[in-house]
Structure 1
Amino acid sequence: MKKYNSILKYIFIVVASLFVIGCVHDDKYDEPTLDNFQCRTADYYTTGAGKGLTKWTLTTLKTKAQNAAIIDKAYIEGYVSSSDETGNIYKTIYIQDSPTNPTEGLTVSVDAVSTYTKFPQGSKVYIDLEGLALTTYGGVIQLGMITPAGTRIPEKEVNNHIFRDCNVRENIIPKVLTMSQFSSSNNLIGCLVEIKNVEFDSRALCSTFAPTGTTVDKTIGEGWDGVNKKYLRTAVVRNSGYASFANQLVPAGNGSFVGVFSKYQPGSTPTYQLYINRVTDLNMEGDKNGDGVDEHFPRLDGIAANPCGFNPATLTAKTVADVKQFAAGTTNWVQITGDFYLKAQIVANDETGNLYKYVYVEDATGGIRVNINKTDLYLESRFKLGKDVNIKLKNLYVRSVNGEIQLGDLFNNNTQFGQIEEANMYKYFFDSNLPARAVVPTERTISQLTNADVGRWIKLKDVQFINSDLGKMLTESNTVTNRTLEDCSGKTIILRTSYQADFGTKDNPLKPATVELEGGKGDAYAILSVFNGTYQLWITKLANIDFDNTPRCDGSVYTPIPTIFSDNFASGLVNWTAVSVTGAQTWLVSNQGNSGNNYAIMNGFASGNNANEDWLISKEVSLVGKTQAVLNFTTDVRYSGNALQVYATDNYTGTLSTTSWTQLSPTLDTNTGAFGDWVSSGNVSLNAFLGKNVRIAFKYTSTTSAAATWEVDDFKIKAQ
């Protein structure tokens, strides 16, 4: 009865606390009182009900078989080295075998959050092992439970396996390591460690730990190679976008770093990682002695003072028009030498990938492209759409690139103009710390456009895609694709779209090669650029060209050819017949590297190149009664080898040799050097099969000297 009274007492205290503080918003929380709740002591295993359980050390546990439930009546004990109070550590409890000078650590995977309320850092815990299981992920042994949902201990099972010793709460003293000791300290994964005399590398300076909702890696360095200007050793710091400190600036100085030690090793080379429990564990910035001096500088890389402060009072303000004027009358790069700064709004960034390694900024006097050698700029607070950013201009360059004046820096031993290096971003870009503002377009007609509009976010009223573009995809090759917009007076302008863009979401990508142009008329929103006197538009999302179901300039309403059969392979190969003529490899369905979205794949490489001939044949599709029909799909190729061949037939016999095949001529991906550049086939005519039942086949071949990997997705047959 005492146990139940304790639990009821705990519930009453929690409810009462919520009633009292429910209207208070504070990021600091008092640690809950958990005395006698879910508690055990060492006596339970020596003289109590657990007397028959065998005590294993963490070392012994790690030697046991993996991927199978533990049947031994055994337990381990340890001390919690982690805390998920800030949200940076997620559904994981890290423990170590001693609060000081540990010799072994362990990663415990739990399907529960806010575990710090039951198992705060320093708690001594006992874990009953029967029914749990060991697995390895990324080279790290983890303790969990094998379930249909994964290998975490379900939340309802945590209380049956993990117990806190409410009489013991130790101060976890970090184990001091150097990065050179990491490779010989795999036994310490899960332990709290301290690395001294380290600093975040310059790429991280003046940026936040993580953007909202996204986990990012930052790098800390130890030791400095003055000749090659690089750290002797580095490690990764993993930062969650859900951490309470995610939007704080990374400390800019040199000092000690305290965090949980881990690694990720999918292959032969490990990447050592550290997880911050709380930013107060980092002593890498600030006035330690109260003398007004930040003793964490100079850094190993020579930075002598905190570079992240921005004081406009010490600089002269310039406008976009002023910056462009520096390059007026020349095509050479021009260095800005004055102590100037530009305050401008981010009006277009790289969120969809249609802009790549650059952003556009704009003020009342105009807009300009800013080149930066970094991807995913949109994730940083400084480059969020609508934010005002302060740009220190001294030592940057401006240049007219094919008629468009751009801001950037020199590279390749100062012989070429281009992007500002990521390692130098801290010198130039400073968050205004002002909330984002709505981006207001400059409204123009095509005839009104002038060079003063280049770099601006503009709105073109009442435009449409020209007739010859209708029915086409937004992109159709592994390059940038041009489409043409026109107004009702017949004036035209080019719309440029990168095949690398993705107008969907992380979970539901939307490749431009799968997007058919909308045939109506409407307003286009885009960045205006120029190339050798020809104006060009760049959109940042599909909503910028929303022309669906609206009358065209001549009053007609364009109706796209309807899709009568489509397959994105979400259900595997249910609509297909795979026929293997030669070789052990066959057509499969995968989603690797494609954010969970399936595609068909054939790869003749397995421990070397293999000779293969494999066909993937679609189900029968009726074109009876149709007057027009086209085929459309996307492909992605990697590694050298034979091109994929595409055939159609209206008399499939079930045997390849007795079937009459017609070879088709679609556009296929040709970039064998990388995955991910999906290419549209274009609309391949099937008019030769009108009035018949048609099947489409993909023929893959490879040899012992070359075996490409071919992927097929977004298969459609359209007819009317």
Structure 2
Amino acid sequence: MTFVSCNDDFDTPPMVVPQATHQPNMTIADFKAKYWKDVNNYIDTVKEDIVIHGWVTANDVSGNIYKSLYISDGTAGFSISINGTSLYNTYRVGQEIVLNMKDCFVGKYNGQQQIGYPEFYEKGSVWEASFLPLATFQSIAELNGLPAVNKVDTIPMSISDLKTDAETLKKWQGRLVRIDNVRFSDADGVNTFANSDATTNRNIEDENGNTLVVRNSNYATFRANILPLGTGSVVGVLSYYNTSATKLDGGTWQLYIRTADDCIGFSSSTKGLLTDPYTVEEAIAGEAEGLSGWVSGYVVGAVAPEVSEVKSADDIEWTAPTTLDNTLVIA
């Protein structure tokens, strides 16, 4: 008789913590300023021994951000255009990346300053910073340590902060920001983040009427989610889009959310929308709280002429035809 046994107590392989060999010697803010040009498309080559670093603030995990990473070192944010997909598998939010920039390219693509690769735009007869080959990016980018989400800085700001002068563009492009007390202008309980056939712009609006485009891909995992209702906070990375051949200002600020979780504190209730109106009883109960929205009921009469405040049944005409047709009573 033969006995066979197996040992399932395998040794756990050691965790390999990546360590960069290059040391940063310039902040992102200083790097952006050094290579900034007041045009909407250009490309420049870094000839000096410059090393920058940053923690990943946004990637392509949901499909809303396309072939790009965003990083920040606390002084500024920066976008990196990369001809690759599923970047989030390696470059997770909170992962520190060290970039050896010598002989690499920086420029703008339609107003957005970014690390990229030279491409000639024939229609505009200009060079621009387009997608950096993935292999090239991998050759200059070193991981340093394990992802640390606590290193990701989210900057509170207001929509009104977004001007289009050069200093504002340098400051806010590529930043992960949080904007509080805003609502989605198109939120009606029906509209989704994006249409099924195209990238869709949805505006957020603050209490002063300032608006900002939230740009949503039809490939995003949250595309079909209903737009959040009510008022809340939105987190995302800022981009700037300008196709003018001559004007630096006049472009459009755009916000890209990373996942649906970047919309915080909004209401999930559809009550008061056209698809889910209040009853008359609910509307009366909420009047003192400033409740607003659609109300469903049956027309039972109209306010009598010269009555400014209904105090009794005598102030209402209950039978048709009524004298007035623009002050109806429902129940």
TM score, norm. by length of structure 2: 0.68
Q: Tell me, yes or no, if the aligned pair for 1:520 and 1:557 is still in contact at 8 Å.
A: no
Q: Does 1:437 align with 2:149?
A: yes
After TM superposition, which residue ranges in structure 1, 4 or more long, deviate above 4 angstroms? 245-249, 467-470, 556-560
- Which of 405, 409, 423 is the equivalent residue of 2:135? 423
Picking from 330, 336, 339, the partner of 2:46 is 336
Shift of 1:523: 0.7
Deviation by residue 1:235-257 (Cα, 9 ceiling, x = unmatched): xxxxxxxx9478588xxxxxxxx
Whether the aligned pair in 1 keeps the contact of 2:92 and 2:147 (CA below 8 Å) is no
User: Retained in 2: the 8 A contact 1:344–1:363?
Assistant: yes
* CA deviation vs aligned residue, 1:372-424 (integer Å, no higher than 9, x gap): 111111111xx110121101111221112221111112369xx7632221222
Cα distance in 1 for residues equivalent to 2:85 and 2:95: 18
Q: Which residue of 2 aligns with 1:410?
A: 118
Which residue type is aligned with residue 37 of structure 1? F
CA distance 1:470–1:445, change in 2 (3 Å)? farther
Q: Partner letter of residue 519 of structure 1?
A: L
Corresponding position of 1:37: 3
Matches of residues 11-30 of structure 1 in structure 2 within 5 Å?
none
Higher relative contact order (CA 8 A, sep 6+): 2
The residue type paired with residue 267 of structure 2 is N
- One-letter amino acid matched to 2:233: D
Mapping 1:134-283, distance limit 5 Å: 244=13
Which whole-Å CA distance do the structure 1 matches of 2:73 and 2:20 have between them?
23
Which residue identity is paired with 2:275?
A: I
Match of 1:310 in 2: 21
Aligned length: 253
Counterpart contact for 1:464–1:547, Cα < 8 Å: no
User: For residues 483 and 521 of structure 1, do their structure 2 counterparts lie closer, same or farther at Cα, with a shift above 3 Å needed?
Assistant: same
The 1:468/1:430 distance shift into structure 2, 3 A limit, reads closer
Match of 2:107 among 391, 395, 399: 399
Of 442, 456, 463, which residue of structure 1 is paired with 2:182? 463
Give distance in 2, aligned partners of 1:406 and 1:423.
18
Residues 58-100 of structure 1, C-alpha deviations (whole Å, 9 max, x = no match): xxxxxxxxxxxxxxxxxxxxxxxxxxxxxxxxxxxxxxxxxxx
1:480 corresponds to: 199
Q: 2:3 corresponds to which letter in structure 1?
A: F
1:561 aligns with 2:275: yes
Check if 1:386 corresponds to 2:94: yes
Unaligned 5+ segments in structure 2 are 121-126, 163-167, 243-250, 277-295, 298-331
RMSD: 3.1
Counterparts of 1:247 and 1:502, CA distance in 2: 31
1:446 matched to 2:164: no
The answer for the alignment partner of 2:225 in structure 1 is 515
Say if 1:384 and 1:436, in contact at 8 Å, map to a contact too.
Answer: no
C-alpha deviation, 1:37, in angstroms: 2.4
CA positional deviation for 1:479: 1.9
User: What is the Cα deviation at residue 497 of structure 1?
Assistant: 0.5
How many Å separate the matches in 1 of 2:261 and 2:161?
23
Distance 2:147 2:265 in 1: 31
Decide which moves more: 478-487 or 322-331: 322-331
- Residue 467 to residue 357, structure 1, CA distance change in 2 (3 Å): closer
**Higher Rg:** 1
- Listed one character per residue, the Cα deviations across residues 142-179 of structure 1 (whole Å, up to 9, x for unaligned) are xxxxxxxxxxxxxxxxxxxxxxxxxxxxxxxxxxxxxx
Within-5 A mapping of 1:108-119: 117=7
Q: Is the 8 A contact 1:323 1:398 kept in 2?
A: no
The answer as to whether partners of 1:463 and 1:485 remain within 8 angstroms in 2 is yes
Q: Are residue 491 (structure 1) and residue 210 (structure 2) matched?
A: yes
In the alignment, is the contact (CA less than 8 A) between 2:95 and 2:147 conserved in 1?
yes
- Answer yes or no: is 1:536 the counterpart of 2:249: no
Determine the C-alpha separation between the residues in 2 that align with 1:361 and 1:496: 19
Match for 1:502: what amino acid? T
**Alpha-carbon contact 2:28-2:76 (below 8 Å) kept:** yes
Residues 377 and 347 of structure 1, relative CA distance in 2, 3 Å threshold: same
Q: Matched residue of 1:424: which SS? A: helix
Aligned partner letter, 2:67: K
SS of aligned partner of 1:318: coil
Query: Structure 2: how far apart are the matches of 1:247 and 1:501?
Result: 32
Q: How does 1:26-105 map to 2 (within 5 A)?
A: 36-38=2-4
Q: Give the whole-Å Cα distance in 2 for the aligned partners of 1:560 and 1:245.
A: 58
Q: In the TM superposition, what whole-angstrom CA distance separates every residue of 1:494-541 from its partner, at most 9, and x where no partner exists?
A: 1101011114xxxxxxxx1x2111211001111111112211110011
Return the TM-score normalized by structure 1: 0.33
CA distance 1:395–1:469, shift in 2 (3 Å): farther
Q: Classify the secondary structure of the residue corresponding to 2:145.
A: coil
How far apart, CA to CA, are the structure 2 residues paired with 1:247 and 1:561? 54
Over the matched positions of the two proteins, sequence identity in percent amounts to 26
Partner Cα distance (1:498, 1:348) in 2: 15
Distance 2:200 2:188 in 1: 12
